[in-house]
Amino acid sequence: MAAAGGSEEPDGPSTEEFVYGEEDFILPGTGWEGEPGSAPSRFDRALLESWDDRMERGLFRYRLGQVPTRVLPGPLRLVAQLNVQRGTERRPPQPVCSLRQPFDPAAFNFTRLRPGELLLRLRRAASDGDRGCPGEPVPLLVAINASPLERGHVLLLPEPSRGLPQALTGPALLGGLEAALLSAHPGFRLGFNGLGGCASVNHLHLHGLYVSRPLPVEAAPAQVLCPRHRLWLLLRGVPAPAFLFYAAGSADLEAVSRDVCRAAEHITDTGLAYNVFITRGEPPEGAGARRGLRVLLWARRPSFGTKASEDFNVALCELAGHLPLPVEPLYRDITEEEALRAIRAHLLPEPELLRLGEDLARLLAG
């Protein structure tokens, strides 16, 4: 890795440039049979070593120790974690009042990060041409999330100096999908909270974090909606029904990123918010040993206004079955039934979801 250049971004010369190619993708994906993370990839080592260094240097809002974790009794085996300090010490989320709220340079945004908060600049070796052209991921700055959920919780920032609002783009998602393939840890997940879907900052970013346990969305069976565009519906065996896109390998990533963003744009056009979650997972057909990438897209009722830190907020982690909880009584007492009731209160009734799925299938097929 060489030192990064590019004075237009908020990364000084100390930000390490991580150049990768397809030879760095971990294919097929690792499973949970062995010890997760026992053989970290080059990407895992670079990210976690830099992240640990920033923790030792005191650049986070709190020192993250061992996070209490329990699996809730029940068929879905939801993973609950207690993180009191995140609930009390994180930066107050920005109020959101519109699904298409423009970027506000006067509000907090990621150009204001301290240089030490930047860890890496991810760049695909073949992407030296036009930035953001079709089929090319944009370079991603990897920064610490100063109020982390887990060790290795980071933000992936696509060209923050452009001041893009929190609306997912194909090149940004493609970069996130490629980052997922760079990790050898089966629990490295990425995600996106849209406006009205509990996004905390209206400046284009994705989350990346290492989760220590499997989640139900990795293997739940799906029903096909539009096979030519790799679109399925996860309706049963998950905390929140979702549209599922699947990439069996690196050749599928560009098409999946394009189709997910077309579907997300349509969801916004209908007045709904959305969240996205990227994880290693089983093929939707349920056959074959090779794990690819599952990309889940949730359509939901918008949540506007400022999020209350003491609430059970429903964002990408909760929708996937990973429940970060801010207070000990809630962590100790919550049941699977209570968690599902809180999650599903934000979602569409099944008939409405099925109609939306038919619309998305027609959109992609057309």
- 131-176 pLDDT, tens per residue? 444 467 899 999 999 999 999 999 999 999 999 999 999 999 999 9
119 three-state secondary structure: strand
Mean of the per-residue pLDDT values of the chain: 89
* Closest residue by Cα to residue 270 from 292, 238, 302: 302
* Closest residue by Cα to residue 190 from 247, 133, 236, 228: 247
Provide the pLDDT for residue 133: 45
Q: What is the CATH number of the domain that holds 330?
A: 3.30.428.70
- b vs e for 97-134, b when ≥16 Cβ sit within 10 Å of the residue's Cβ? eebebeeeeeebbbeebeebbbbbbbbbeebeeeebee
pTM of the model: 0.92
245 three-state secondary structure: strand
Q: In what order do the strands lie in the sheet with 69-71?
A: 69-71, 79-82, 322-325
- 67-79 pLDDT, tens per residue? 999 999 999 999 9
CA dist 211 and 84 (Å) reads 18
Q: Does 257 have pLDDT greater than 90?
A: yes
CA dist 243 and 284 (Å) reads 11
**CB of 145 within 8 A of CB of 154?**
yes
157 three-state secondary structure: strand
Provide the pLDDT for residue 3: 33
- 344-363 pLDDT, tens per residue? 999 999 999 999 999 999 99
Q: Is 11 exposed, middle or buried (0-12, 13-18, 19+ CB in 10 A)?
A: buried
**CB of 20 within 8 A of CB of 1?**
no
280 three-state secondary structure: strand
- Split into its structural domains, the chain has a count of 1
* Torsion angle, alpha carbons of 142, 147, 149, 154, to 10: 0
- 260-270 pLDDT, tens per residue? 999 999 999 99
CA dist 363 and 59 (Å) reads 45
- b vs e for 244-270, b when ≥16 Cβ sit within 10 Å of the residue's Cβ? bbbbbeeebbbbbbbbbbebbebbbee
Q: How many helices, marked H, and strands, marked E, lie in the chain?
A: 8, 15
CA 103 to centroid of chain Cα atoms? 20
* Torsion angle, alpha carbons of 266, 271, 272, 275, to 10: 60
Report, as residue numbers or ranges, the catalytic residues: 205
Mean pLDDT, range 222-237, rounded to an integer: 90
Peptide bond into 326 cis (omega under 30): no
Domain encompassing residue 283: 2-365
Provide the pLDDT for residue 55: 97
